[in-house]
Amino acid sequence: MQEYNLKYGCNPHQKPARIYLDGGGLPVKILNGNPGYINLLDAFNSWQLVKDLRQALGLPAAASFKHLSPAGAAVGLPLNDILKRVYFVEGMELSPLACAYARARGADRMSSFGDWVSFSDTVDESAAAILKKEVSDGVIAPGYTEKALNILKTKKKGGYNIIEIDKDFEPDDTEMRSVFGISFEQVRNKTVPGEKDLMQIVTNNKFIPKEAKRDLIISMITLKYTQSNSVCYVYDGQVIGNGAGQQSRIHCTRLAGDKADTWHLRQHPAVLGLKFKDGLGRPQRDNAIDLFLRDDITENEEKAWEQLFAEVPLRLTREEKNGWRRGLKNVSLGSDGFFPFRDNIDRAYQSGVRFVAQPGGSLRDEDVLKACNEYGIAMAYTNIRLFHH
């Protein structure tokens, strides 16, 4: 039995800690760094996500993970000039895999600070060049080119965590965990959501274009590896808002919707025109943009925020922000469980949702269906719950 001893578990006082695989060698190689317990949980969950995306859609994929949930996930579609500016990749050579990570990181840059990254394919120099510029804890992929590996080994003063995983490794069908000394056992969730799960369209609007089907599949696969309850907004091949770990479904929908709104507002001309002080790093710029877009900024926050700019900008009014938000349309939304009330649809529509995939099965399905029909939303019942704990 091969094992790897860790510095500690979830917290520094939880020692000793290790990972191991009964009856065989581990399917991973640590090429650089010294990953911890939470790093490895993020690594193995995020790898499954991008592997599923690759299998379902046939496109290179990337994910940005924080504390066992994806802050962002995407497939490798090209970026327009505005997104290149928003994602800080202007003038860079972008392979499809690099585009996937730029999108995944760009979904929620505040949450992705210090992320764990996963790639579905061998990491190339282009993807490594983007990752080098971001604050990140580590990366997992099925391989790395020599140039990419050399680039990544320079991160964190040579201590960046780099893991290579056997892309052909398949675990046993049964998975186990121990909680409070008691063993739990279940069949591993091997379902890979796909177009087959979008056939039961129950709304008056029966049309879901192929791009929206792709995005609904991305939402469902992302939800499969997101701490429940969760709701996920996807647009143009990438997550734009993921609401994870909320006890109430509407709070998931609001949280994810607020993130989607922020993603869209970052493309506003006023944001693109912000003039930061020279030398201000990416994390500080992300924080400054977040404060610029917030309605509830305090007086003390505003004073500190103003010091980040070469020219203090004129803040957008609520009316200006709401007007810009209304330009976001054709967003796809997935939910890991059924919607118990129509308020989820009412909130989702405000953030441009026009396509929905959810399991169905609520006592109030008719109320939810009625709301979709009022807004012209196309909704599919997947009959698949995607809880993850």
- Is residue 119 within 8 Å of 148, Cβ to Cβ? no
What is the pLDDT at residue 22?
Answer: 84
203: confidence class by pLDDT, cuts 50, 70, 90:
very high
- Strand ranges for 190-285 from DSSP E: 200-201, 230-235, 238-244
Residues 264, 257: Cα–Cα separation, whole Å:
11
What is the spatial order of strands in the sheet that 115-119 belongs to?
A: 28-32, 161-165, 136-141, 115-119, 61-66, 69-75, 238-244, 230-235, 331-335, 353-358, 378-381, 200-201
CA distance 132 to 160: 10
Residue 174: predicted pLDDT: 94
> Does the pLDDT value for residue 296 go beyond 90?
no
Looking at residues 312-319, what average pLDDT do you find? Answer: 91
What confidence score (pLDDT) does residue 302 get? Answer: 87
User: Pick from 74, 111, 105: which is nearest to 87 by CA?
Assistant: 105
* Architecture field, domain 3-165: 3-Layer(aba) Sandwich (3.40)
CATH number attached to the domain at 269-315: 1.10.287
Question: In whole angstroms, what is the distance from residue 331 CA to residue 297 CA?
Answer: 28
Mean pLDDT of 372-382: 98
Band (23; pLDDT cuts 50, 70, 90): confident
* DSSP SS3 for 276: strand
Q: What pLDDT is stored for residue 8 in this prediction?
A: 94
Confidence of residue 97 (pLDDT cuts 50, 70, 90): very high
Active-site residue, selected from the candidate residues 229, 242, 287, 344: 229
Max distance between CA atoms of the chain, in angstroms, equals 63
- 45 catalytic? Reply is no
pLDDT over 80 at 45, yes or no: yes
Degrees (nearest 5) of the Cα angle 207, 211, 214?
105
**Quick check: is 67 catalytic?**
yes
Q: Which fold has domain 193-265+325-381?
A: Cytidine Deaminase; domain 2 (3.40.140)
What single-letter DSSP state applies at residue 247? Answer: S
Same fold, 3-165 and 269-315: no
Per-residue pLDDT reduced to its tens digit, 255-267: 999 999 999 999 9
User: What are the pLDDT digits (tens) for 148-169?
Assistant: 999 999 999 999 999 999 999 9
Predicted local distance difference test score (pLDDT) of residue 372: 98
- High-pLDDT (> 90) share of the chain, %: 92
Write down the domain spans for the chain: 3-165, 193-265+325-381, 269-315
Q: Check pLDDT > 80 for residue 1.
A: no
Checking if the pLDDT of 17 tops 70, the result is yes
Decide if pLDDT at 384 tops 80.
yes
Choose, from 190, 210, 303, 389, the residue flagged as catalytic.
Answer: 389
What is the average pLDDT value for the chain, to the nearest integer? 95
351 vs 343: CA distance, rounded Å:
13
Q: What is the pLDDT of residue 170?
A: 93
3-state secondary structure of 354: strand
pLDDT at 183 over 80: yes
* pLDDT one-digit tens code per residue, 98-115: 999 999 999 999 999 999
The residues with which 72 forms a beta bridge, in sequence order, are 64
389 tagged catalytic: yes
Residue 24 has pLDDT above 90, yes or no: no
Residue 306 has pLDDT above 80, yes or no: yes
Give the sign of the dihedral formed by CA 346, CA 351, CA 355, CA 360: negative
